Amino acid sequence: MLTVGVDIGGTSVRAAVVEPDGTVLAEASAATPESAGELDDTVAELVGDLAAGRSVGAVGLAVAGFVDPDRRSVAFGAHLPWRDDAVVDRLTERLGLPVVLEHDANAAGLAEHRVGAAAGATVAVLVALGTGIGAALLVDGAVYRGAYGVAPELGHLTVVRGGRPCPCGKHGCLERYCSGTALGRSAEELIAASEDFSVLRATWERAEPVTGRDVARAAEAGDALARRVVDEFGEWLGQALALVADVFDPDVVVIGGEVSASAPLYLDRARRRYADEVTGTGHRRLAEVRPAMLGGRAGVIGAALDARERAQRT
């Protein structure tokens, strides 16, 4: 039996037919529509196309938003048209296949645990660095979601009191200092505060946003200011790893998300800071910190494997 995973983000919907070992057989994608009905249609079309002529037994959805604890409804996602919406029952009926629903970071964490960088881990944490920070915790292979379905929200831990404003409404959240967005923001602050040469300065002078990708590319090319930004980012990530280790004591932490593509630039520094900062350093075992293996496909693969595991249990 094959399963289909569908990863529904703010800008695109990606879908893939996945084998039991996580191999992607075929994939398709479409822009995320603006209404709930159109999103249903998009999911149905992608699944229909991928399932045609194949023996597909279940469908997994991964969404960029809060999922109810019973995993039948999407509560809220800032960029999703589904709101307090019982999507599982509706799509199960429409697709004629069992449907499971999961938060996208949890799906990515599940995929990395089953067939990726966290394979075999007892306690695994995924830290996905992108626009913000997505996080997932797996204990003995099971996704830990807390009593009300929202754990773990690592990105919104307050690390600087009165710090940078966050779209969540608070100030000084970790993801304002340690994400792709934060890389750009830190570069802009440093450019504004200094006269130092940087290839990024021209972008800033045109009043265009400096992106995390711009900073990573400049750092790779040897730009000194960009290197300083990336080094500081590595220190923040190390501090985040120490927080994660003090709370969860994992054996593996997987660094995923878009920024993980630049891991060689900052991962060693982050590991050193983590080792220095964790409580009881020198007297405890540290987690292995590894870059993710599945890249942008982690969500679809995890959703598909989740659907398979659920189908096998029932």
Q: Which residues bind Zn ion (CB under 5 A)?
A: 156, 166, 168, 170, 173
C-beta separation of 16 from 5 below 8 A: yes
DSSP 3-state percent helix, strand, coil across the chain (nearest 5)? 45, 20, 35
Using CA atoms in the order 151, 71, 297, 64, what is the torsion angle rounded to 10 degrees? Answer: -60
DSSP state of 171: B
Shortest distance (Å) from residue 78 CB to Zn ion: 12
State which residue, 170 or 272, has the beta carbon closest to Zn ion.
170
Shortest distance (Å) from residue 212 CB to Zn ion: 17
C-beta separation of 5 from 301 below 8 A: yes
Shortest distance (Å) from residue 166 CB to Zn ion: 3
State which residue, 124 or 237, has the beta carbon closest to Zn ion.
237
Shortest distance (Å) from residue 155 CB to Zn ion: 6
State which residue, 60 or 152, has the beta carbon closest to Zn ion.
152
Q: How far apart are CA 50 and CA 57, in angstroms?
A: 12
**Residue 139: which region, alpha, beta or left (left: phi > 0; alpha: psi -120 to 50)?**
beta
State which residue, 32 or 179, has the beta carbon closest to Zn ion.
179
State which residue, 51 or 133, has the beta carbon closest to Zn ion.
133
Shortest distance (Å) from residue 247 CB to Zn ion: 18
How far CA 21 is from CA of 57, 102, 167, 281, in Å, comes to 15, 19, 38, 37
Shortest distance (Å) from residue 131 CB to Zn ion: 12
Reported as half-sphere exposure (CB side, CA atoms, 13 A), residue 195 has a value of 0
State which residue, 156 or 297, has the beta carbon closest to Zn ion.
156
Residues in contact with 23: Cβ distance below 8 Å, sequence separation at least 6, in sequence order = none
